[in-house]
Amino acid sequence: MMAYTRKARLTDLDAILKITDQAVTFLASQNSPQWQGGDGPTRTEFETAINDGIAYVLIYDQQVAGVAKLIPGPEAAYEAIDGRWLGDASAYMTIHRVAVDGEIRGQGLAQQLLHDLIVLARERDFTDIRIDTHELNAIMQHVVAKLGFTYQGMVMMPVAHGERKAYQLILD
């Protein structure tokens, strides 16, 4: 099946929220505190992200199958890393709020979505791409490693249980 990524539209919002709600439930089933206790994605957050042009959806089989945000840095949490970023790039993109439809999970769609976002970032002349995930989110750690991201240290997101493993990909 054909899969591609495009900017999210307000008409995608219900599908986005279905996917992020599934992700919250899935993370809880994995005993991860990530996105729990009201810290998961919200309608207002994604309305704003769509209007700001930083929300993207993966289309698979002509349906919204994944979602993420691609945000230009700097980002305060990333500046206070317990570790070290590679290079000296002060301009970077971060990928946040990655989720794939739970009904079709396991088909490489998260990898496709992240790959597409990397391409979009590079097309905008960014060569430094960063992402983070909770240490219990082994699936996302596996996906980012397959795409060539390297672990750089820990960052603290401004939420309960905000400790996150931070990864970086440097492109030429």
**pLDDT tens digit sequence for 50-61:** 999 999 999 999
- For 6-124, where are the alpha helices, taking DSSP H only? 13-29, 43-52, 76-79, 109-123
Q: Coil, strand or helix: which one is 146?
A: helix
Q: What is the pLDDT of residues 135-156, one digit of tens each?
A: 999 999 999 999 999 999 999 9
Q: Where are the domains of the chain?
A: 3-170
- This prediction has a pTM of 0.96
125 secondary structure, DSSP code: T
Of 143, 130, 71, whose CA–CA distance to 100 is shortest?
143
Q: Which CATH class is domain 3-170?
A: alpha beta
